[in-house]
Amino acid sequence: MASLRFVNIGDCEYAVGLWWQVRHSGPAPRKVILDLARKTAREFEKEQYNLVAIRPQQFGLGQSSEAPDKCHALAGAIRMRREVDSFLCIFNLADDFWWVCSISKGIIAANGDTWHSTREEAEKAAHSQQQLIEGDFVLYDTPEESLAALEPLLSPERALEPLFPNPDKRKRQIQQILLFAASIALIFVGFSLFNKLKEQETMRQLRYSLDARAKHEDELRRYPERIFAMPWQNAPLVTAAGTQCANAILNQPSVYLGWSLADMFCAPGDSLAVYRAHNIGASYIDLPEKMNFVTAQKTVQSVSLPRIPTRPSVPHTSLPTRKQVTAVIFELTQALKANLEIFGWEPPEQTIRGDVQLSAPWQSGKFTISGVPHSMVASGLVFKALEQHGLILTSIVYKATVKNWTIQGEAYARL
């Protein structure tokens, strides 16, 4: 989980990057939501969550050691015109600050409050949320456009608060004030000395700056992997992701209140979208609130899924080669007598830092396998076959009308 990032809009400070969870049994008093948030944070102790935003039916967890006072959750401050509206937007808040916000019927999605360093990463995150929103996302390409669109929607209420009580906070504040005063005194003394040794100090700093820059550029060339994101590090194991989705899909009744299963789209660790088709005699009146109309003949229901712990850390040097990954995909498709609809590799990601042009020492690809036999999904054997370094399961699609399973994922290979 990335640390929070902060932005000033109007007269308020806002935080971006919280992980949102829903209390499925409905709204509750603040204490109940806070207790649930603390319980969840303890279950994911390694994330070191220390801040929480409270809403009537959900909470957002975040981690930061530099949160401003009276800071609000930006996603939680958005007020929809109607509770039934959906909201999926990308806002450019700075040169390297792209915010993706996804709200469905008044509920912020688990991964619906994320920030990214590039537009491409933000668009990729927005695409993963489209099945929940049932529509395309809106992109605001400049900070000016983003602020103009955001300000009318914002209505901040309760600010972020510490997740756990901190009786030593006052003591630390006093210590910080004393430290600041001491720092000011030292700065004054140092400034006086600096004036006396200005010429010598300037030359020393120049040499130090040149040496530091050369050392930094050398580090970049020797370890380019430190610059680029490693998605496989933050993804769950294929078996864990596949088992969660398969169980969620197979547990859905084939007919519910006269409506038959049509299609299901599962994003592991996020949600399951269940589409149903109308049968003759099925009721339109008695549908529960969780089922919403797409058309007169189709409904959709979103089922939240619990977050899945990430896989053990794998360095990029342990990734398989492109040939090895391709062989696994081809062999599996052949053994299953399935269809490899999409499979291809992208060029290695590149970037420029100062005067140094860098290239990631790996490349990524995507694959889509359709027509996977039901028994292979239900038994989990297809997921075990895909369980290797560098393979990520991103979604499972099941078309009930033709009993067709489709597996989609990403592949990463070392160069």
Whether 81 has a pLDDT exceeding 70, the answer reads no
pLDDT digits (tens, 9 = 90+) for 28-39: 898 999 999 999
Higher model confidence: residue 220 or residue 410? 410
Query: ∠ CA(349), CA(391), CA(308), 5° rounding?
Result: 110
Strand partners, 104: 86, 107
**Whole-number percent of the chain with pLDDT over 90:** 56
Tell me the mean pLDDT in the region 260-274. 96
Which structural domains are found in the chain, ordered by start?
Answer: 5-162 (no CATH), 170-225 (no CATH), 227-241+309-414 (3.30.70)
Burial of residue 312 (number of CB atoms within 10 Å: 0-12, 13-18, 19+): exposed
The pLDDT score that the predictor gives to residue 219 is 81
Sign of the alpha-carbon dihedral angle for 261, 266, 270, 273 = negative
Condensed to tens digits (0 to 9), the pLDDT of residues 339-351 reads 999 999 999 999 8
pLDDT tens profile 37-68: 999 999 998 989 999 999 988 999 999 888 78
Question: Does the pLDDT at position 410 exceed 90?
Answer: yes
**Mean pLDDT over all residues of the chain?**
88
Residue 112 has pLDDT above 70, yes or no: yes
**Distance, CA of 154 to CA of 150 (rounded, Å):** 6
* More confidently predicted of 268 and 80: 268
Which residues, other chains included, contact 269 with Cβ-Cβ below 8 Å and sequence gap of 6+? 110, 236, 241, 244, 305, 306, 307, 308
In the prediction, which pLDDT does 242 show? Answer: 97
